[in-house]
Amino acid sequence: DAGITQSPRHKVTETGTPVTLRCHQTENHRYMYWYRQDPGHGLRLIHYSYGVKDTDKGEVSDGYSVSRSKTEDFLLTLESATSSQTSVYFCAINPSGTASSTDTQYFGPGTRLTVL
């Protein structure tokens, strides 16, 4: 258990509405990530953060924004949800406090989002 919680765990919303997903960690890890999981695609990185107010884009960032005002929380926002954003969203943390490619990522339980 990496001390990661995600909320909500399930959400159904309508096209065009804003949605915010929350990832919360209890260990003050520096690196946090948001992925989406879709059949046939595995997990794809949306955005990641390497510190408070420090974020960067992943491979599928269009239509998503993130914020990190506190170390423990990493928020993913869909400004205007579309049906193509129906997916399972996973948050992950990297426990290392230093820059190293060898560190392992640990994943939260996921949020299932359905956009009607």
Partner 1 sequence: AQSVTQPDIHITVSEGASLELRCNYSYGATPYLFWYVQSPGQGLQLLLKYFSGDTLVQGIKGFEAEFKRSQSSFNLRKPSVHWSDAAEYFCAVVVESSYKLIFGSGTRLLVRP
Residues near partner 1 (CB under 8 A) are: 31, 33, 40-45, 48, 50, 58, 90, 92, 94, 99-110
The least distance separating partner 1 from the CB of residue 87, rounded to whole angstroms, comes to: 14
Contacts of 11 (CB under 8 A, 6+ apart): 19, 21, 111, 112, 113, 114
Q: To 5 degrees, how large is the angle CA 104–CA 107–CA 113?
A: 150
Report phi then psi at 9, rounded to 5: -85, -30
Residue 67 CB, shortest distance to partner 1, in Å, is: 19
User: Tokens 């096209």, residue?
Assistant: 15
Nearer to partner 1, 40 or 80 (CB): 40
User: What is the Cα–Cα distance from 47 to 40, expressed in whole angstroms?
Assistant: 20
Report whether the peptide linkage leading into residue 39 is cis, meaning its omega lies within 30 degrees of zero: no
Pick the closer one to partner 1 by CB: 74 or 108: 108
Q: How far is the CB of 85 from partner 1 (least distance, A)?
A: 19
Nearer to partner 1, 39 or 80 (CB): 39
Task: State the nearest-atom distance from the C-beta of 28 to partner 1, in Å.
Answer: 17
Which of 85, 94 has the CB closer to partner 1? 94
